[in-house]
Amino acid sequence: MAFGRSSRKKPLVEPVTLKILVAGGFGVGKTTLVGAVSEIRPLRTEEILSEAGRPVDDLHGVENKSTTTVAMDFGRITLRDDLVLYLFGTPGQDRFWFLWDELAQGALGAVVLADTRRLEESFAAIDYFERRGIPFTVAVNCFEGAQRFPAESVRGALDLDPEVELLMCDARDRESVKNVLVAVVEHALVLADRPAAPVPT
Amino acid sequence: MTDAEQQDQGPHPAQHWFDDDAGPVVRPYAMTRGRTSAATRHRLDLIAVVVPEPAADDPGRDQTLSPEHVEIVERCSDTPQSIAELAAGLDLPVGVVRVLVGDLVEDELVHVTRPVPPAELPDVSILREVINGLRAL
Ligand SMILES: Nc1nc2c(ncn2[C@@H]2O[C@H](COP(=O)(O)OP(=O)(O)O)[C@@H](O)[C@H]2O)c(=O)[nH]1
Ligand SMILES: [Mg+2]
């Protein structure tokens, strides 16, 4: 049994891969946002969790343990054949924070998706990215029927640093989501250009 | 999309959270035959990309491999794929794919690209390219 039909015709491209996280409470529109810009339908991956709620690396005997899985949705944007951006929609609950630790490693930045009817669900994500110095942008998903608030009052309610951008968006709209992603990367660019500041521990 | 998500619109009561993002493990783990990822193996990042080695074309090499190993190599042979894409495409938990890809790395049938090192941001020129690429979408 051979792999592939014949010898390779062209050398394989090994893309540089990058990731942006999309965090926010359940139902806030993370998967919708990913789907609006992804070239593939959002896919799901599952991590196996141990009883303690940590990801399981060691699969030995896992079938006998009481475990659960956590699903993450992700999408892909091929910017060039050697530059690929992945978007990961991350469950916003506290009990999944170990996942964020893994996902946040090497992440280019994050979108915190917020709904003005339940802003408090974004607090944990904002705290998380602030504390780790991960560049993020807050995107308010403007559901119809939700009361519109001026950006300034939302900023105030979220206690955002002045340099963190807050945008209104429609998670279903490709152009709107593109703007949000550009804002995240521009913010990352500003931070990358700046001499490293000591990170508070 | 789950049924819960399709039925519910707008704000969700807290009790729905568990049902959407978490569920019981029902899959068999026979295909890793109880093996563990060796301690020396680094944890493969979800966006690490699996690239077949030329040796993967050699028919004599793959006697001990499972169909899942073979499928991983085949899926990557035209376009290298990330761990996340492989897990989704094979409908296997990420942990299982990590073990299988680890086997293939050990057998020198594939190598895995290193994503941007932890705690480092990608360099400025890459960020500019990402911005330009996004604008051009
Ligand atoms: N009206 C409206 N509905 C939205 C918008 N974004 C998401 N939805 C809907 O809200 C529900 C939850 O969205 P989903 O992306 O699954 O949320 P997730 O749990 O954060 O991944 C789905 O039924 C979406 O179709 C939006 O901008 N406007
Ligand atoms: Mg979702």
One digit per residue, the tens of pLDDT, for chain A of length 201 reads 455 544 555 678 899 999 999 998 888 999 999 999 999 988 888 776 655 555 555 445 444 444 566 778 899 999 998 999 999 998 766 666 777 787 888 899 999 999 999 999 899 899 999 998 999 999 999 988 778 889 999 999 999 999 999 999 999 999 999 999 999 999 999 988 876 656 555
A5 within a domain of the structure (yes/no): no
A186: in domain: yes
- The domain in which residue A161 lies consists of 16-193
Q: Is residue A3 part of a domain?
A: no
Q: Please tell me which residue of chain A has the smallest CA distance to B41.
A: A57
To the nearest whole Å, the CA of B106 is away from the closest chain A CA by: 17
Burial A53-75 (b: 16+ CB within 10 A, else e): eebbbebbebeeeebbbbbbbbb
The total number of structural domains in chain A stands at 1
| pLDDT at site A147 | 80
Contact B11 A45 (CB under 8 A): no
Q: What is the Cα–Cα distance from B137 to B133, expressed in whole angstroms?
A: 6
Give the helix ranges, DSSP H, for chain B. Answer: 3-7, 15-21, 67-78, 83-90, 94-106, 124-135
Tokens of A3: 């792999």
For residue B21, give the DSSP letter.
H
Residue B23 lies in a domain: no
Interatomic CA distance for residues A115 and A152, integer angstroms: 15
B66 vs A: CB within 8 A: no
- The total domain count for chain B is 1
Expressed as residue numbers, the domain containing B123 is 35-135
Whether residue A112 lies inside any domain: the answer is yes
In a domain, B22, yes or no: no
Q: The domain that contains B109 carries what CATH number? A: 1.10.10
Q: Give a yes or no: residue B4 inside a domain.
A: no
Ligand 1 close to Cβ of residue A177 (< 6 A) = no
- Amino acid B39: pLDDT: 37
Q: Does residue B17 belong to any structural domain of this protein?
A: no
Paired tokens of A193: 């250009």
C-alpha gyration radius of chain A? 19
CA distance A150 to chain B (A): 21
pLDDT of B93 reads 86
In this predicted complex, what is the ipTM?
0.84
**Which of A71, A118, A174 comes nearest B11 by C-beta?**
A118
CA-CA distance, B126 to B128, in Å (whole number)?
A: 5
In a domain, A127, yes or no: yes
Helix (H, G, I), strand (E, B) or coil at A33: helix
Residue with CA at minimum distance from ligand 1 atom 26:
A143
CATH at A95: 3.40.50.300
